[in-house]
Amino acid sequence: KAGVTQTPRYLIKTRGQQVTLSCSPISGHRSVSWYQQTPGQGLQFLFEYFSETQRNKGNFPGRFSGRQFSNSRSEMNVSTLELGDSALYLCASSLRREGNEQFFGPGTRLTVL
Amino acid sequence: DQQVKQNSPSLSVQEGRISILNCDYTNSMFDYFLWYKKYPAEGPTFLISISSIKDKNEDGRFTVFLNKSAKHLSLHIVPSQPGDSAVYFCAASGNQFYFGTGTSLTVIP
């Protein structure tokens, strides 16, 4: 079974631009979560989608948004990029919510110049 | 506010000895706890988990202990191997997953 895939793997943008990251979950997984990882901050939860609905949102500004499609693939968008948005963005999928282990993709490394 | 904390950013252990990684949490409503391992340039991979109704779960060389009264979780790796060198994250499941900041484990051959 193929794992979680994320595209692109690396991205360089400039301040003020916007970016869209993509995540394809493991086949059959309906829950997709997004995390931001920065040095010293661990994984910070961005949002979770389940069956095309956002079920939970972390403490991030409205510049961060996402969506999930009917095939469970998910995208996250960051508008008006800031230098502090430079991070590894990880996507994780799971069969269902609550307590089930998550399977992570390799991440997208975003650098904002 | 960090609901899951790993206070040791790094740990070095000799090969063959025990590695103990610690994690503290603040929310007594968490119902599930997990440990993930992360190598550079890869996403975290699931290692072991424990339900809040248990106090110990073992899987091969890995054992997780849960002390609910102390709101403390630990991962024991015995014996430690050089391939265990990675960053370890603990996580707690509530309405979402909360992750600690990670502990970088180095196993010295």
For tokens 């610690």, what's the residue?
A: B22
Average pLDDT over residues B67-80: 97
For tokens 């699931």, what's the residue?
A: B46
For tokens 């995390």, what's the residue?
A: A35
- A67–chain B Cβ distance below 8 A for any pair: no
* Rounded CA separation A22/A9 (Å): 10
- Which of A4-13, A60-69, B59-68, B88-97 comes out lowest in average pLDDT? B88-97
Instruction: Measure B15 CA to nearest chain A CA, in Å.
Output: 26
B2: confidence class by pLDDT, cuts 50, 70, 90: confident
Token pair for residue A82? 């800031």
- Contact by Cβ (8 Å): A69, A78: no
Cross-chain residue pair A102–B97, CB shorter than 8 Å = yes
Radius of gyration of chain B (CA): 13
More confident residue, B95 or A56: A56
The string of pLDDT tens digits covering residues A91-109 is 999 887 665 688 999 999 9
- The rounded percent of chain A whose pLDDT value lies above 70 is 96
pLDDT at residue A88 greater than cutoff 60 = yes
Q: Pick from B64, B97, B101 the residue to mutate for testing the A interface (most A CBs within 10 Å).
A: B97
> In the predicted model, what is the mean pLDDT of chain A?
92
Cross-chain residue pair A56–B96, CB shorter than 8 Å = yes
The string of pLDDT tens digits covering residues B20-66 is 999 999 999 998 999 999 998 889 999 999 999 999 999 999 999 99
pLDDT at residue A87 greater than cutoff 90 = yes
User: Measured in whole angstroms, how far is the alpha carbon of residue A75 from the centre of its chain?
Assistant: 7
- The rounded percent of chain B whose pLDDT value lies above 70 is 99
B69: confidence class by pLDDT, cuts 50, 70, 90: very high
